[in-house]
Homo-oligomer: A and B are copies of this chain.
Amino acid sequence: MAHITIIGTGSMANAIGGAVADGGNSVDYVAKDAAAATIVGDIVVLAVPYPAVDSVIAQYGAQLAGKVVVDITNPLNFETFDSLVVPVGSSAAAEIQAKLPESRVLKAFNTTFAATLAAKTVGGLPTTVLIAGDDADAKQQLAAVLTAGGLGAIDAGALSRAHELEALGFLQLTLAVGEKVGWTGGFAVAR
């Protein structure tokens, strides 16, 4: 059985944790502003907004060494909704990997709204999580947890592909805010 720790307690944290539990794997939650906790999971999901990532790394970085760390963020400029706040051509995931060199960082969940993770379906298709990362074993571990929990999972390539996943997440958020798609919809994956 895999053990997953989720840092964060919002709608994404709950939706991801629900799927983990549905698959018979164990999950615990750490509130991002809580007193320092012991991180017990082998896979740790940073289910916090992008601006909160640095403080999570400051608090838990040492404990994350050797673990699989999952970045779910969409690093938008939420004032303009017209750009990302990470360097052009890069990604939040690449920045996090640079700050956590002893962790195996994955990008995942940023292209699936919380409601579609909870429902496990979007537009009649299985909700499918796109996973990017440089460690094949880490990607397989996460994919196994997700498919056990009733979600789809696709290996979307190297961690450098997080740039494209974040572009997709950014685009999807602008479409939802612009009411072109609903928060229960968005991009579905047809195999």
Contacts and interface: CB of A to CB of B under 8 A. Distances in A.
Interface of A: 82, 88-89, 122-125, 130, 154-158, 160-161, 163-165, 167-168, 170-171, 174-175, 178, 180-182, 184-191
A146 to B, nearest CB: 15
B189 A185 contact: yes
Contacts of A161: 171, 174
A171 B165 contact: yes
B164 A125 contact: no
A69 B50 CA distance: 37
Contacts of A82: 158, 160
A10 to B, nearest CB: 22
Contact of A188 (B175, B180, B182, B188): B188
A167 B91 CA distance: 13
Contacts of A89: 88-89
